[in-house]
């Protein structure tokens, strides 16, 4: 199936706006672990909290395919199958395995993945081969000093790397990965978490740089102050709006993100079918 940005604008609920915003997505929580340590990240397993990083449990790639079957039967407006956590999809093999299986059984469904980008250069070929149509990369800073205040460190090449050195590796891999993936014709969306006390004055630079590397759309996500960044404030509407207006000088800006759970299913902000499809989740120990 041929997909490009214009096609995604018509059929992907997160790209479409206004009247087109009636399409659905199913998030498949197949990715348990992560390879970086964002200070604001609080992953958890429950049935109630509505935010990224939360799921009822982890499912296997074959359970994920079964979940897509159930989801499209219940909600035929679902056009997208995505992996967005609760951990990092490239830190374990399950997300790519899931997409390979989905590609075989549902050749027309749009395949979407969210990554922190650390391993993007290593897995770019696999992402292309798995048929992923849309990739979201979370880039919170392109200045290593700022990034080091947001993320404590990374696990890279089997070693823990901390601080500025970790930030340099992460940023370099995110940008070269975005270039590689967008160069292959895959639409790249960049998410940036807006943290008033840390990166508010830097978001425009991020938008400009990721656009130069081939990203097509930019999503500014307001910080949920928690975990290691509970001392920060949630940005107010004025700050979010200002950041979006500034970023829009360089890249198309996405404005209606619902900050979905890692097992969200249905139509964002309207129909939720997740309780009907995730019946026997497995809570990791």
Under the rule (CB under 6 A), what is the footprint of ligand SF4? 14, 25, 34, 36-38, 41, 53, 84-85, 87-88, 116, 257-260, 268
How far apart are CB 260 and ligand SF4 at their closest, in Å?
3
Please classify residue 7 by burial: count the beta carbons closer than 10 Å to its beta carbon, then call 0-12 exposed, 13-18 middle and 19+ buried: middle
Name the residue nearer to ligand SF4 (CB basis): 17 or 129.
Answer: 17
CB nearer to ligand SF4: give 129 or 173: 173
Of 129 and 284, CB closest to ligand SF4: 284
244-275 per-residue burial string, b: 16 or more CB within 10 A, e: under 16? bebbeebbbbbeebeebbbbbbbbbeeebbbe
Report residue 149 as tokens. Answer: 């205040």
Encoded tokens for 141: 């800073």
Least Å from the CB of residue 211 to ligand SF4: 18
Exposed / middle / buried, residue 30 (Cβ in 10 Å: 0-12, 13-18, 19+): buried
Reading the block at residue 224, the tokens are: 């949920």
Q: Cα angle at 125 between 124 and 129, to 5 degrees?
A: 120
Nearer to ligand SF4, 87 or 196 (CB): 87
Q: How far is the CB of 60 from ligand SF4 (least distance, A)?
A: 19
37 contacts 153 by C-beta, under 8 angstroms? yes
Its sign, for the CA torsion 7, 211, 81, 25, is negative
CA–CA gap between residue 40 and residue 257 (Å, rounded): 18
- Residue 190 beta carbon to ligand SF4: minimum distance, rounded to whole angstroms: 11
Residue closer to ligand SF4 (CB basis): 104 or 160: 160
Q: How far is the CB of 259 from ligand SF4 (least distance, A)?
A: 5
Q: Of 55 and 130, which CB lies nearer to ligand SF4 in the complex structure?
A: 55
**In the complex, what is the shortest distance from the CB of residue 273 to ligand SF4, in angstroms, rounded to a whole number?**
14
Q: Are 119 and 64 in contact (CB under 8 A)?
A: no
């Amino acid at each position: 199936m041929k997909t490009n940005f214009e096609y995604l604008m018509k059929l992907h609920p997160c790209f479409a706006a206004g009247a087109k915003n009636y399409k659905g997505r199913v998030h498949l929580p197949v990715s348990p672990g992560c390879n970086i340590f964002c200070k604001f990240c609080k992953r958890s397993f429950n049935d109630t909290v509505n935010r990224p990083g939360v799921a009822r449990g982890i499912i296997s790639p074959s359970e994920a395919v079964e979940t897509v079957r159930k989801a499209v039967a219940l909600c035929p407006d679902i056009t997208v199958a995505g992996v967005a956590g609760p951990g990092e999809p490239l830190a374990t093999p399950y997300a790519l395995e899931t997409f390979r299986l989905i590609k075989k059984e549902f050749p027309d469904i749009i395949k979407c993945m969210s990554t922190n980008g650390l391993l993007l250069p290593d897995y770019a070929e696999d992402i292309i081969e798995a048929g992923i149509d849309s990739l979201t990369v979370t880039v919170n800073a392109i200045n290593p000093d700022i990034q080091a205040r947001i993320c404590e460190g990374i696990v890279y090449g089997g070693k823990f790397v901390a601080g500025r050195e970790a930030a340099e590796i992460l940023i370099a891999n995110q940008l070269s990965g975005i270039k590689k993936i967008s160069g292959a014709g895959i639409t790249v969306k960049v998410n940036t978490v807006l943290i008033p006390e840390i990166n508010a004055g830097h978001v425009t630079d991020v938008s400009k740089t990721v656009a130069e590397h081939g990203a097509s759309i930019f999503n500014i996500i307001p910080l949920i102050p928690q975990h290691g960044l509970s001392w920060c404030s949630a940005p107010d509407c004025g700050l979010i709006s200002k950041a979006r207006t500034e970023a829009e000088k360089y890249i198309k800006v996405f404005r209606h993100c619902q900050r979905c759970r890692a097992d969200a299913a249905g139509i964002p902000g309207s129909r939720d079918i997740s309780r009907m499809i995730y019946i026997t989740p497995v809570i990791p120990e």
